[in-house]
A and B are shown apart, each in its own frame.
Chain A
């Protein structure tokens, strides 16, 4: 099957190259049959790569270790769910996933626009096929997922235990869906620039939903990564300004700016240069994001690649940047605005400000992420910038962003008068300031930036709530519907607007959660013996006793866990009992390791203790002190080395099991000390609740409106406009 998989990828590469040529030839010569052939190339690639991906998945599910990538990233003891997802934990598998998703999304958009944008679409097709050819070439020449081993090993290395978390299995497809979906508006923007069709009516209308989908998927991916970090990495945080985290945030920030600013182009014919520049930058940043994860160019806990892909990716990014700048400069006269800003007190002005803040944030993140490379180029020494540097700039920008997301919904397009502004801002401003005063009196004034975020967050929630309230009131006055039906029809008639409002509320909740959990968390690192306690915030953590266990899967030892029973109390009352653990997975690379020692030389993961609540999360992780076990482990290795070859395999396995059981029991009887990280952190849950609200709002905005209803409304307005025309 590997041969077939490899052939499918070679065929995909050939078809992609043919499709690029056919699309461009058809566009230049005005030959529809060649354009159609180019478009069909995309469908063909989707089918070919689906086949290749299915072959790889089957190999993983069957634990076919003749495939080098399966042997390196899976094992018979890997749970089936994770076997299916282990494909994209490898370099080659993730590149194949990228190509697969790109081909599917490209097919979808080209099918949807097959009778539209006849001049733009062929060039967009060529760009999308160019991306497909690039990734297919990497898979054929650099990182093939279908490389076979001369002799298949009996067992694979297994999936990196850190990745054995449900969110980590969905996280890469979500991120890659976001990246690949952003290439679609990028490709159509390039096509629009080449053909000088840069009005909002064409490329923006055709690809707006794909941009929104990209934003949604990328956001889900980022949040799942944050959740994984919080629940799996054992440090208690959800965001570390790690280069790979930042790489996914960059296109999300510029993409967020884009989905706001295109509304101004759609409504007013303004910001054309800005919009094409934003989406071109977003497309390039999406490729850059993939490159950072896959190249290992920046030190990151998430970078899974080696540097073999550096030159092709840098070349591609260089070409994309040069071509983007060249196109925008060449088409600057077509990109002139049709209108001017009527007033600084208008929704357009707020959107512009929001765009500037988002782009400023993207610039800060970009600068901080690439500073190690910049510093190395300038000084010869690689120096990274830590979270305090990022926080210094992004926190004030985030506060302004949240404030703007509350102002936007309550201010009119074109021009808002001071009296209208007063009417709309009064209630949200008073409510937010009142909450701020109460929180300040309760001690929040010690953290002024966090307090500012709480005030702005409250402003957003009340202003959006007021919008829904008034909108429902208008609907009820017009139709006599009950409040629920009025709310439903209000949202259904303008999903984009009200879905967007919901996104603003979700973001406000998310940022309030971030501000509270960052400013008011209490984290302690402490070494405890059984019976000892430590305080964090209002809570007392008591290390009651040690735990240990051996986990097996299909008769094979999966891991050895050493843990603790931790009682948490508040004011002397028991709150919860937690059981954090450290799991040790055996090393598959046995070179130089003894049969017992190898069980403690592989990967180790943290199983955290977490009591999550709406007001506060109580979190703990532990690292056992296994130094007292080392003499026993070494002694075991010596005994097994001396007995090597003298015992039957079955007996040797039983003896090894007994030895490990003895080590696990000894850990318990030693009453071992352990190092604990205990955290009491407020409002963390609101980050996840806010995220759900954001994505619910995103889905509403993305959901297509009923065509029939739109036509009826259009017809009604058309009649009114025609009536005016008749009177004129």
Chain B
């Protein structure tokens, strides 16, 4: 093995060790409240999905896929579901 190749390999090895071990060498990261944060993220996503459903229902009404009556029923149901999600979101955020 030529010396240049050996040097290159050693430099790369050192760089990889530095990169991978950096989180272990530094001050131990403070443990985040992963579960609570994940719960909030999930509820946020559910809220976004529910709003998307509301927008889709409105678009369906305007483009004639839903009648006024069907839309009224669906919209009321979706809003009720959205309210439940907002309540859960408030609870999760404390």
Contacts and interface: CB of A to CB of B under 8 A. Distances in A.
B45 A721 contact: no
Contact of A423 (B34, B35, B59, B64): B64
Interface string A465-499: 00100110010000000000000000000100100
Contacts of A32: 23, 29, 31-32
Interface stretch (A66-74, A405-413, A428-436, A623-631): A405-413
Contacts of A4: 5, 8-9, 12
Given A201-B46, A420-B64, A420-B67, A118 B23 contact: no
B83 A724 contact: yes
Nearest to A51: B12
A728 B83 contact: yes
15 contacts: A4-B12, A18-B20, A19-B20, A37-B20, A37-B21, A37-B23, A40-B22, A117-B41, A119-B34, A267-B53, A411-B65, A412-B70, A420-B67, A474-B59, A713-B51
Contacts of B51: 713-714, 717-718
Interface string A550-568: 0000000000000000000
Contact of B20 (A40, A51, A714, A721): A40
Given A474-B59, A721-B82, A119 B35 contact: yes
- Most A-side CB within 10 Å, residue of B8, B12, B20, B52: B20
Nearest to A466: B63
Given A11-B16, A40-B19, A40-B22, A713 B55 contact: yes
Interface stretch (A41-49, A216-224, A248-256): A41-49
A44 B19 contact: yes
Given A3-B5, A202-B45, A724-B83, A117 B64 contact: no
B12 A11 contact: yes
A722 B38 CA distance: 24
Interface string B33-59: 011011001111111110111111101
Contacts of A414: 74
Given A413-B56, A474-B62, A34 B48 contact: no
Contacts of A266: 49, 52
Given A116-B41, A119-B34, A424-B65, A33 B29 contact: yes
A302 interface: no
Contacts of B42: 197, 199, 201-202
A152 interface: no
Interface string A1-35: 10110011001000100110000000000101110
Interface string B1-30: 110010011001100100111111010110
B78 to A, nearest CB: 9
Nearest to A496: B52
Contacts of B60: 412-413
Given A117-B38, A423-B64, 13 more contacts: A7-B5, A11-B13, A30-B34, A118-B37, A201-B43, A201-B49, A202-B45, A413-B57, A416-B65, A714-B51, A718-B47, A718-B51, A724-B83
Contact of B1 (A3, A419, A725): A3
**4 tightest Cβ-Cβ pairs between the two chains A and B:** A201-B45, A201-B42, A36-B23, A118-B34
Query: How many A residues touch the partner, as a band?
Result: 35 or more
B68 to A, nearest CB: 11
A497 to B, nearest CB: 8
B53 A118 contact: no
A104 to B, nearest CB: 16
A725 B87 CA distance: 10
Interface in A672-728: 713-714, 717-718, 720-722, 724-725, 728
Residue among A18, A30, A32, A41 with max Cβ neighbours from chain B (10 Å): A32
Contacts of B32: 32, 118
A201 B41 contact: yes
Contact of B38 (A37, A197, A728): A197
Contacts of B67: 417, 419-420
A410 B65 contact: yes
Interface in A633-686: none
Contacts of A419: 67
Interface in A386-445: 410-417, 419-420, 423-424
Nearest to B28: A33
B79 A724 contact: yes
A200 interface: yes
Contact of A8 (B12, B48, B55): B12
A496 B32 CA distance: 34
A37 B24 CA distance: 7
Contacts of A37: 20-24
Q: Which of B37, B60, B74, B83 has the most CB of A within 10 A?
A: B60
A205 B49 CA distance: 10
Contacts of B8: 4
Contacts of A116: 38, 41
Contacts of B86: 718, 721-722, 725
Given A1-B5, A471-B63, A15 B20 contact: yes
